């Protein structure tokens, strides 16, 4: 399987991350891969992530930081929309309750 075929099989939202991380993982030695897999299986994801970041080039780190910032911006926008909808719902409920008390 080629790199492109592998990327094609991933969900679209994971592809940008895989494009950065795959070359890093491919550069790992056999021992690094073993350590990475073992730490990942042990659910110590932060150590696994640090292994990837430590092996990244400065350009890869910048690309990942840009991707991470874009994801955080999207989460903030989604959260702002959620908060606005909750606020609207609350005000609607309060208005209906007040109108119900008036009658």
Cα(first)–Cα(last) distance of the chain, in Å? 71
Asked if residue 38 and residue 5 are part of one domain, the reply reads yes
H or E segment to which residue 13 belongs: none
Domain that holds residue 89: 57-103
Asked if residue 62 and residue 52 are part of one domain, the reply reads no
Tokens, residue 54: 């430590």
Q: Does residue 36 contact residue 48 with C-beta atoms inside 8 Å?
A: yes
* Closest to 17 measured CA to CA, from 57, 68, 73, 58: 68
Total domains in the fold of the chain: 2
Give the model's pLDDT for residue 101. Answer: 78
Give the model's pLDDT for residue 103. Answer: 63
Give the model's pLDDT for residue 46. Answer: 84
Query: For 62-96, how does the pLDDT look when each residue is reduced to its tens digit (9 = 90+)?
Result: 999 999 999 999 999 988 888 888 988 888 888 88
Asked if residue 73 and residue 37 are part of one domain, the reply reads no
Asked if residue 63 and residue 47 are part of one domain, the reply reads no
Instruction: Decide: residue 58, CB within 10 A, 0-12 exposed, 13-18 middle, 19+ buried.
Output: exposed
Cα(77)–Cα(84) distance, rounded to whole angstroms?
11
Asked if residue 76 and residue 33 are part of one domain, the reply reads no
Give the model's pLDDT for residue 70. Answer: 92
Q: What is the mean pLDDT of residues 57-62?
A: 95
Asked if residue 63 and residue 48 are part of one domain, the reply reads no
Query: For 2-57, how does the pLDDT look when each residue is reduced to its tens digit (9 = 90+)?
Result: 888 888 999 998 999 999 999 998 899 999 888 888 888 876 678 888 889 999 99
């Amino acid at each position: 399987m080629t790199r492109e075929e592998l990327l094609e099989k991933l969900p679209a939202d994971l592809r940008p991350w895989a494009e950065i991380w795959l070359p890093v993982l491919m550069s790992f030695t056999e021992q690094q891969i073993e350590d990475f897999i073992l730490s990942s299986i042990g659910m110590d994801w932060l150590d696994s992530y640090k292994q990837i970041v430590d092996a990244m080039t400065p350009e890869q780190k910048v690309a990942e930081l840009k991707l991470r910032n874009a994801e955080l911006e999207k989460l903030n926008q989604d959260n702002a929309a959620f908060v606005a909808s909750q606020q609207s719902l609350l005000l609607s409920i309060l208005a209906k309750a007040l109108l119900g008390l008036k009658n």
